[in-house]
Structure 1
Amino acid sequence: MIGYPSLRMLTRRAFTTSTAKHTVPLAYKLHEFPKVGSADGPPILFMHGLFGSKQNNRSISKALARDLNRLVYAIDLRNHGESPHDIRHDYTAMAEDVEGFIMEKSLEQPALIGHSMGAKVAMTVALRNPQTVSALIPVDNSPIDATLKSDFGKYVQAMRVIEDAKISRQSDADAILQKYEEALPIRQFLLTNLTRSPDTKAVKFRIPIKTLADSLDHLGDFPFRDPDEARYEGPTLFVRGTKSHYVADEALPLIGRFFPRFELLDIESGHWVISEKPEEFRKGVVDFLQRQLSS
């Protein structure tokens, strides 16, 4: 068993369980550290945002595995990427999936990184099972109930139009999407979900559009309300884009109650912090996690 400085070991019995739990097995990509020998710290679980997948975090996962000499698991949350579809899509269900993944892989106190929707999943896991998480890095989201940006509803509408058009070329899908989103990087991000039907040759989306559309009203919610009843006292780094509204100054006192050891890293970007400023994000995460091992 590998020892990590100042970290207690994960035990399977430590997990909070739900009597109604129905988890799905999560697809993942393992990015291994390049050095020969043991890892320099616990593994990292990297969780994407809404409409994303493990592919979105491929480059940064490779960089973190290299720079930190740790295993990095980039995972597909339920209803995304190559993971199974399920009619239930909320933060408790997604957190239970991640907890199941940690148990299945026998991961010892992983560090959790999540962007947007993935940030709330990571926070939920840490609050449900604080003793099993060595460090927490939520990226541009807060532990509060908030309304999602209207952009996500527009994206669902665009996806439905694209599928109804039964087109066969990605360029045609992009032409439709331009009516809903001007920014090319965001369109390219959304179009990574396109696949081609083997029967009709028409492009379609691999994510369950109806399930995610029905879940939009609840994806701004957070399953915990009272910091006196659930708290994660491990090292926490909140990363926020200064041009985004998801981590407002007004939320910081509540963040401090849920996560009393939190630090704040501001990066001059919008909501898509990792893709907009990957080097600043990488440096901030590497510095933070290296400090945890040496403290």
Structure 2
Amino acid sequence: MSNFAMSALCRILTRGVYCGPSSCLSVTGLRDFCSGVSRLDRAGSDSPVNLTYDVFDGKGDSTPLVFLHGLFGSKSNFHSIAKSLVQRTGRKVLTVDARNHGKSPHSPVLTYEAMTHDLTHLLGQLHIGKCVLIGHSMGGKVAMTTALSQLSLVERLVVVDISPSPTSAHTSFHAYIQAMKEVKIASNIPRSTARRLAEDQLRKIVKERSVRQFLLTNLEEQNGHYGWRINLEAISNHLEDIMGFPDFNNTYEGPTLFLGGSSSAYISSEDYPEIQRLFPCADIQYIPDASHWIHADKPLDFISSIITFLQS
């Protein structure tokens, strides 16, 4: 591609892309792309990365909603939910790729303090002084960390299918990471074939089809070669951090909703004391689809719970 064409492409891309009836501005790390900088290891332990995000513009001027995805996820997990919430509330909605996920830059560091630093850096760049944070799983822990460390930034907090208690006893993430590392796919084959081969190799360890399909959203092709867009090394090296939660002695006093799935092991009665210690205004609810909302086409219970909480 000529320098002129590359320059023109960058100008078009950095102005944003509109999608659907609710405008969705996609920002995908274009500063690095347009300057020829790799996504890999662009941030030191103390430096925030420039997160990729999508904006769904509402017509109202209420506090914007900011969605944070879970481990192995991406901002696209929330697109249908974001569009529904824009239509039903009129609020602006942001969906954000965490570092080492989606199209955000990679870094060897993956702690909740670092991810909170990334988020506050992004919100500062966007001149968002107050938001409603909605986080699922790992994103829920980022949301809690942000609320506890940046009290004035978070107007309301929604934590989905996770608690501030350690979660390592409930997960198979170690096995998933190892299974993904062992996937081998030939180059220069159709994407559909590559995806089928990857799923066949994952099937030995990852028994649930819905989980395999979710992990496969991270399979990408670059110049005919297939690999994972998430930073498996950083995730593996920091899995203990991800399964844990930072120590806090202060509280977040704002309105807080913990949403758990009716059959979920991630918010149990054993977690209630720690939830109430850190979030004294928390309401804990269980809905049928919360633990599997990310795989649902239209998680109506989840959306309704969010709207009811915003109106309370």
TM-score range, shorter chain: 0.7 to 0.9
Residue 90 in structure 1 maps to residue 111 in structure 2: yes
What do residues 17-43 of structure 1 show as CA deviations (whole Å, max 9, x unaligned)?
xxx73100110011112x4xx42x100
2:261 is aligned with what amino acid? Answer: G
Structure 1 residues 148 and 25: alpha-carbon distance in aligned structure 2, compared to 1, 3 A threshold: farther
Q: What whole-Å deviation, never above 9, does each CA across 1:167-226 have from its counterpart, x for those lacking one? A: 64111111111212232222111111111130xx2321111111111111221111124x
Residue 211 of structure 1 aligns with which residue? 234
- CA change 1:92–1:286 in 2 (3 A) is same
**Residue 260 in structure 1 maps to residue 285 in structure 2:** no
Residues 38-77 of structure 1, C-alpha deviation per residue, up to 9 Å, x if partnerless? 42x1001100000000011111111112111101000000
Matched residues in 2 for 1:157 and 1:254: separation? 32
The Cα shift of 1:274 comes to 4.2
Which of 1 and 2 has higher RCO (CA within 8 Å, sep 6+)? 1
Contact persistence 1:42–1:108 (CA under 8 A): no
Q: What's 2:175 paired with? A: 154
What's the CA shift string for 1:90-133, capped at 9, x where partnerless?
11100111111111101131000000000000000000011211
- Residue 62 of structure 1 aligns with which residue? 83
Contact kept in structure 2, 1:236 and 1:263, CA below 8 Å: yes
- Partner Cα separation in structure 2 for residue 188 and residue 86 of structure 1: 25
Residue 30 of structure 1 contacts residue 71 of structure 1 at CA under 8 Å; is this kept in 2?
yes
Secondary structure of 2:243's counterpart equals coil
Is the counterpart of residue 53 in structure 1 residue 74 in structure 2? Answer: yes
Q: Aligned to 1:266, what secondary structure does the other structure show?
A: strand
For 2:101, the equivalent position in structure 1 comes to 80
Give the distance between the partners of 1:288 and 1:207, measured in 2 at CA.
Answer: 32
- 1:193 is matched with which residue: 218, 221, 234? 218
CA distance in 1, matches of 2:234, 2:170: 18
Instruction: Give the whole-Å Cα distance in 1 for the aligned partners of 2:232 and 2:46.
Output: 23
How high is the TM-score relative to the length of structure 1? Answer: 0.84
Alpha-carbon contact 1:148-1:216 (below 8 Å) kept: no
The residue type paired with residue 137 of structure 2 is S
The amino acid that maps onto 1:204 is G
Please give the alpha-carbon distance, in whole angstroms, between the structure 2 residues aligned to 1:103 and 1:111: 15
Calculate the TM-score normalised by the size of structure 2: 0.80
1:140 counterpart letter in structure 2: D
SS at match of 2:172: helix
- Of the candidates 84, 109, 123, which is equivalent to residue 130 of structure 2? 109
SS at match of 1:107: coil
Q: Which amino acid aligns with 2:55?
A: L
**1:177 is matched with which residue?**
202
* One-letter amino acid of the counterpart of residue 196, structure 1: E
Uncovered stretches (5+) of structure 1, i.e. residues with no partner: 1-19
Percentage of pairs with the same residue: 37
Cα displacement (A) at 1:271: 3.1
Deviation for aligned residue 1:275 = 3.3
Amino acid at match of 1:179: K
Determine whether 1:250 maps to 2:270: yes
* Counterpart check, 1:133 vs 2:158: no
CA distance in 2, matches of 1:186, 1:281: 19
8 Å CA contact 1:241, 1:266 repeated in 2: yes
Taking a change above 3 Å as real, the CA distance of residues 154 and 112 of structure 1, as seen in their structure-2 partners, is same
**Aligned counterpart, 2:252:** 232
Which residue is 2:244 aligned to?
A: 221
Q: Hey, what's the Cα distance between the residues in 1 that align with 2:244 and 2:210?
A: 27
Give the aligned residue type for 2:267. Answer: V
- The alignment partner of 2:291 has SS state of coil
Amino acid at match of 2:80: S
Deviates more, 1:141-150 or 1:230-239: 141-150
Checking the alignment, whether the CA contact within 8 Å between 2:69 and 2:77 is kept in structure 1 is yes
Give the Cα separation in 2 of the matches to 1:88 and 1:187: 26
Structure 2: gaps spanning 5 or more residues: 1-44
